[in-house]
Structure 1
């Protein structure tokens, strides 16, 4: 893994984030897509949010599996002689574990400060709030009584944090499989939150871009530390 490669990925991920943000800020793509998931005749979303089986499959189980995976990584790193046993995978394990903890935390912090409402909370979908873009203020007298916390997408952040699995492997085949797994889990969970009215597409794309950038940034720092240590 070269510094040139990581620097390029950091630059590309930042360009991706900026492009996505500006694209959805100047277009109505979010609304056009979200309308496909909402039945205006019945006033309901494509999938009911409280349906227990769907919630378990797309929300509870993936979240639990990611937590268990992180705990297994912690255990592997804390066991005696972990450095010698893990060998060349030691740095990769640390990158993945750090990503699994940091990426959801960063996304959660942004959610807490963005004051962006979920689609289901908007008046056009049966809620009470007006639709505004990220850079727009709420109309006078229509600001929410409490902070809205729907941007970026939080649930998908754990899945997209698995993009860091790329740094666990050295072969191109395994790296492609790792990226495929991460994108599948991220969109599996993120797509569910879209069809139940919890997120717009832009929310999930931004989370994916953040995970891409942060996992590469973590890897860059780990490799710098490792190089200086040797």
Structure 2
């Protein structure tokens, strides 16, 4: 991986992420956007329990993404029995690992962040005061697990597909990247309309998922795969007796 690759895929995106976080904090865009949405919905979270938003675009969409991940896992297992899948095993393992690790990092971060959802705050019909990222959370307040955004990761966790396209079919990379971004933005917007997240929650998820897929990419495709992993990735499918 040359310097241009790291500038384009690490330096520039990380700079954009820092600038966006800074803008959100400086202009209090989390509160401003949430206020606008809350007022627009009649000072209630109109879509919190709406069947299309809570069931189709949240529960069903999440289950669909889990099903797709299960297909990737089955493809990995099948590569040990189907010779035609052997050339794709490295790509399958990379996608499986980047997607799963992204989701795990988001889930783990939620347990330690102690950030509330908008719908829990007194300004939006809840019972808790707003505590910014830079202030200590009072001991009397219950645990919170709303940061980063979990549902948006169902889209952003698939950034690995972009890097696979970069490696194998670069003519498709921008279409794939755009599709993943749109999917993540859709899932993020759904939760913001339901009062589940602020915009910074989704930006954090996007950043974590991008960095996860990016940092795993050289391990698999720059000739520096761990020696313990290489024989495993190249193991031929089992022969039937």
Structure-1-length-normalised TM-score: 0.86
Partner of 1:97: 96
Provide the alpha-carbon RMSD of the alignment. Answer: 2.5
Would the alpha carbon gap of residues 87 and 41 (structure 1) be closer, same or farther in structure 2, given more than 3 Å must change?
closer
Would the alpha carbon gap of residues 204 and 41 (structure 1) be closer, same or farther in structure 2, given more than 3 Å must change?
closer
Partner of 2:143: 147
Which secondary structure does the structure 1 equivalent of 2:202 belong to?
Answer: helix
Would the alpha carbon gap of residues 75 and 128 (structure 1) be closer, same or farther in structure 2, given more than 3 Å must change?
same
Which secondary structure does the structure 2 equivalent of 1:129 belong to?
Answer: coil
Q: CA deviation at 1:78?
A: 1.0
Q: Deviations over 1:101-147 (max 9, x none)?
A: 11111011111111111111111112122222211124xxx655321
Partner of 2:84: 85
Partner of 1:116: 115
**Max radius of gyration: which structure?**
2
Which secondary structure does the structure 1 equivalent of 2:152 belong to?
Answer: helix
State whether residues 99 and 157 of structure 2, in contact with CA within 8 Å, keep that contact through their aligned partners in structure 1.
yes
Partner of 1:51: 50
State whether residues 95 and 222 of structure 1, in contact with CA within 8 Å, keep that contact through their aligned partners in structure 2.
yes
Partner of 1:172: 170
**Residue 187, structure 1, aligned to residue 182, structure 2:** no
Would the alpha carbon gap of residues 5 and 78 (structure 1) be closer, same or farther in structure 2, given more than 3 Å must change?
farther
| Matched length | 225
Deviates more, 1:146-155 or 1:25-34: 25-34
Q: Structure 2: give runs of 5+ residues left out of the alignment.
A: 232-241
Would the alpha carbon gap of residues 53 and 84 (structure 1) be closer, same or farther in structure 2, given more than 3 Å must change?
same
Q: Deviations over 1:152-195 (max 9, x none)?
A: 10111121011110122222332122112211211111110001
Q: Structure 1: give runs of 5+ residues left out of the alignment.
A: none
State whether residues 34 and 192 of structure 2, in contact with CA within 8 Å, keep that contact through their aligned partners in structure 1.
yes
State whether residues 3 and 220 of structure 1, in contact with CA within 8 Å, keep that contact through their aligned partners in structure 2.
no
Find runs of 4+ consecutive structure 1 residues off by over 4 angstroms: 80-84, 227-230
Q: CA deviation at 1:87?
A: 5.3
State whether residues 16 and 209 of structure 1, in contact with CA within 8 Å, keep that contact through their aligned partners in structure 2.
no
Would the alpha carbon gap of residues 143 and 123 (structure 1) be closer, same or farther in structure 2, given more than 3 Å must change?
farther
Q: Quick one: distance in 2 between partners of 1:50 and 1:172?
A: 41
Partner of 2:12: 12
Partner of 1:162: 158
State whether residues 152 and 206 of structure 1, in contact with CA within 8 Å, keep that contact through their aligned partners in structure 2.
yes
Q: Quick one: distance in 1 between partners of 2:214 and 2:5?
A: 6
